Structures are given as C-alpha cells and as structure tokens.
Amino acid sequence: MASLNLPSATPSAPSRRPSHPLFPKPTNFLTTATRTHRLRICATAQNENSPVETSQGNVDRRNMLLGLGSLYGAANLISTPAASANPVQPPQLDKCSTATNLNTGEKLDVNCCPPIIDRIVDYRLPPVFQMKARPSAHRVSPEYIFKYNMAIDRMKRLPADDPRNFMQQANIHCAYCNGAYDQPGQGGLDLQVHNSWLFFPFHRWYLYFYERILGKLIGNPTFALPFWNWDNPKGMTIPPMFLDPKAAIYDSKRNQDSLRAVVDLGMTGNKDPLQVVANNLTIMYSEMIRGNADVYDFMGQPYREGTAVNPGPGSSERGSHTAIHVFVGDPREPSGEDLGNFYSAGRDALFYCHHANVDRMWTLWQYFLPSNKVPDKRITDPDFLNASFLFYDENAQLVRVTVKDCLDNLRMGYDFERVDLPWLDYRPPPQTAKARITRTASTAPRADTLFPLTLDRVARFQVPKAKKGKADELLVLENITVDTTKFLKFDVFVNDEDDNALELDKAAYAGTYAQVPHKTANRKATTTIRLKLTDLYDDMDIADDDSIVVTLVPRHQGPGVVIGGIKIIENPPKATAASP
C-alpha cells in the first residue's frame, strides 16, 4: 500500500488542483502499484477553510483536500452563492404521478413514486475521515465481488416500502426521468434531469446515497461502487462479475449479443473489434477535449424553472453515456428494458457501475485535463448552483441536496482508482488528400437549399465558413426537433475523404448527437448542438476554402429527427460560464 505525504499548508488555496507527488506530470495517468488507496484522515471541522488535525499536524482543510492522494483535488471550490431567482426546485413527492413509457408514450403500470414522510432535512456533507476509492470493475478482487453482491442482496431483501430497498432506489431514476414529477409551481411542465446541466449533478448525488446505503447494509462505511472502465480498451466489455447468473448483481434483461462483445460507443454496427476500439478512443477524445468550446458544450445547456425539458445535452451525455444504455438494453424486451429505458435502468446493478464512470468523466474533465485543451470548466450561475433534489439517505431520512455541494468528489468522500487514459492523446491523424473533397464540393448542394431537413438517410451538403483561413469556428446545428420517445443518433463528418461511416478515427469526424428515449408533454423537443471545429481545421488543408462539406449519418432507423438549420459561426474570443 502506497504511503502518501500531505502537502504543507500554504497561505491560500491554489486555483486548480496541483500535480500530485506521485504523479508530477498531470497529463500522465498511470496505474499505481496498489489497486486502491485508503487514507485515514481526522477532520475536526466541516468548514473547508478551517484547520484539520492530521498525523502531520494541523493543515488548512482546503490544502488537505488538494493532497488526499488523488489525481483529482479540490480545485475551484465555489462558495455558497446568493439566492437565485429561479433554480429548479426539488419535486413535491406527494404530487408524484404515474410515470410514462418513453418508447411508447403510454402510462406505465409501475409505481415509481417513493414513500412520503413529512420531515425533510437540508443535507450537509459529513467530514471525511477516510477516503473511499471507487475501483475499476474489471480489476476488482474476489473479496470485493463477494462484498458487493452481499450488499446488493441485502438491499433487495429490505421491506418493499423501505426507501433504501433495491426497487425503491431504481424507482428514483424512473420518477425523475420518466415524467412522474412536475416542476413545482410550473403547471404540468415535467421535471427532467437529463439533457441539461443537471445531468452530472443529479447522478452524482444519486450514486452518493446509493453507495452509502450499500456500505451501511454491510457495516462498511468505506465501501465504494465500482466504475465500468469503458473508456479503456481493457474495460470495453461488460465487467465479468455482472455475468454470473447466480450473483445478486446479475440481470437477465440484457442484450445477449453484447454480453462479451466490445462496446460500440459509436453505435456504428462495425464488427471489427480493433476498429471499434479505435472508434471508441476517438469518440472519447472528441467528447472530452476536441469538440467543446465552452462549459455548456460538455455539461449541457442551462435548465431553470419553466424551461422545457430538453434544452440540450452535453457531449458526454449524448455520446458515450447514451451508447452504453443502448448497448446493454435488451432488444427482446418491449422497450429495451432494463438499461435501455430510463424507467427501468436502475433495476440493473450495472447501471450504477456505468454511471460511476460517467461521474469519473466529469471529475477528469473538471480537474485534470490539460488546461490548454479545454475551456473554463466552472458554472457560477446561481440557477445552476442552487438547483436541488430530494433523496433518502442511508438512514432512510429524506434530505434536500443542492448542486453547489456536489461539485467536488473529494469533499463528498470518494475518489477513483487510477487507470490509463489512452484517449487523452488520441487525436486523429491529419487528412491531406483534398482532390476528392474538392470534386464533391462542386456537386454537393448548399445547406440553405435543404433545410429544414428530415434526417432519415445520409445527407451531404456545403456550409459556408464564417471566416477564410484556419479560423476558430463552431458548427451549429440548430432547432433540432426530435421525437423524444425514440432512440435517435446521428454523426457529423466534415470533408470526409473516404465516406466510410463505419470508421470514426479520422480527422473528418466532428461529433455526434444521441438520446435515450425520454418523456415530454407532446413527445417533441427542440434543441441545438455546437461542435468546435478548431482542431479539425488544423488537421485539414482547408485554409483557402470558402466552405466545407458536411455529412450527416443517422444511426437510427426511420424518421424522428428534423434539423431546422445549420451554420458556422466564429467562436467567441473567451467562453463565459455566466448565465447566457
């Protein structure tokens, strides 16, 4: 077990997490000799700025958090913001209604509503005495697997009306995501935690309490959920421990063709596992680094009281997150149950393992990606920070939590096992062949003659650049109207020289849009996505071109997507994290 030295106290907290003594170069993600690290920390106060007693004496709490033996320190801690005019409020549990099957739009014969108690407590993060270490699911020991199964088994054996019961926990996702809740005071407007800036915070809190419940059930407060390491080739199959039919974490409602197959994050249908891995690494590089111009491109668009439920998903949510849901969901079931539909996703223990890695992606993006490759990653808008949810904690107490209290995983008492990040530098090779694109451009129609465009087949057209030369520009697909009850996905290519839609590991791949079915009042929602073109331009010989050729490749079957327009705009000189 590695012994870690806490850093010395400094006069003020740094603005970002420093490199750790074991990892002096922030861009090197190396696996340590031991799989997990457990640190005993005696915290004497909850105030992040107050002194904390450790084995090395009193140190500033914030500096202590920065050096807890983690790649991801407590950077960019945000103080409690002033009251906001209209953050999304927690649901009224006594007004929970019947949820909806998102694939059919019909009411579910399932009660997703939680037990109701009168007392709601504003939750305060407890002091961190010992850091939990979430392990990679492919690397866990037999002892861990036994402990994990025991915890899930005990959760399943709780009384049916216990809010900590396995099905009650699964129903949390059903209620928040399938239209059982309305926004308080907003009439019949649904409350939805997907497709906006609430996606990451809600699921972080969800897993936080789920993890604490499991730990209490087995008398182990340091128990940590595993993460499915699908961003690493060694983890690009369903973790083996979930395939044992006798295990408590087993679920029979999974795609039988996916049980031992390589995850296809691009949903291209490519059968070559080597090409699928290359596609996956390209997707991860694109959604984490290459395609984001500002904080909202990654986190999702603002969602306030009165906002429609689909303001716009971030790159990670509409990419790898959605792909895993579809990859595992069982096509033999009427609506892709379990993981392939929001109402039933939490019934598969693999869901929490999947979302532990989604949460890890947020942590990596927040604190450890190279600062010269990613935008400002803070959202200071009070409507984001003051948004709140309701959960039952490990003591079955109903608690109210806010987004501002979940911005740092270390303050919440958990970290992640260190593993390689092969996608970190997986930038596609430059594209030099230009002749074929030049010929295609002369025959491709102009975009303004095609839109609005019903995307039920491959579409190719010209889009004028905003500025000649290697400009810093964004490709904007606007007024994308979707049928929210369907799985939908399309990929975007720019100046694709070989037209091979099964291969994504090339400079021409610009990004994607995808959705897991979700309910809206009229089954329609409108959104906009932006794809940063700066790196793509650098990898192509287009400095003298006045336009680019865009190809849209739908991965879904049939209609369901209408794109209102497409354009290229100049990227603002400095992205802002303020309210738009």
Whether residue 342 lies in the annotated active site: yes
Angle at 320 between CA 319 and CA 324, to 5 degrees: 125
Whether residue 321 lies in the annotated active site: yes
| Coil vs helix vs strand at 392 | strand
Distances (CA, A) of 9 to 54, 56, 57, 62: 12, 11, 10, 9
Is 321 assigned to a binding site?
A: yes
Catalytic residue among 321, 354, 518, 556: 321
Is 194 assigned to a binding site?
A: yes
Whether residue 20 lies in the annotated active site: no
In terms of Cβ atoms closer than 10 Å to its own Cβ (0-12, 13-18, 19+), residue 442 is exposed
Q: Pseudo-torsion of CA 419, 420, 421, 424, nearest 10°?
A: 140
Catalytic residue among 37, 173, 354, 518: 173
Catalytic residue among 37, 355, 518, 556: 355
Whether residue 325 lies in the annotated active site: yes
In terms of Cβ atoms closer than 10 Å to its own Cβ (0-12, 13-18, 19+), residue 380 is middle
What is the Cα–Cα distance from 534 to 413, expressed in whole angstroms?
Answer: 38
CB 250 within 8 A of CB 338: no
Is 355 assigned to a binding site?
A: yes
H/E stretch holding 388 reads strand 388-392
Catalytic residue among 20, 37, 325, 556: 325
What lies within 8 Å, CB to CB, of 121 at 6+ separation is: 397, 398, 399, 400
Catalytic residue among 200, 227, 342, 493: 342
CB 476 within 8 A of CB 568: yes
User: Cα 367 from chain centroid?
Assistant: 15
Is 203 assigned to a binding site?
A: yes
Question: Which residues share a beta bridge with 567?
Answer: 476
Catalytic residue among 20, 194, 518, 556: 194
Whether residue 355 lies in the annotated active site: yes
CB 363 within 8 A of CB 72: yes
B/e letters for 28-50, b = 16+ CB within 10 Å, e = fewer, are ebeeeeebbbebebebeeeebee
Residues contributing to the annotated binding site for Cu cation? 173, 194, 203, 321, 325, 355
- What amino acid positions are annotated as catalytic residues? 173, 194, 203, 321, 325, 342, 355
Binding-site residue positions: 173, 194, 203, 321, 325, 355
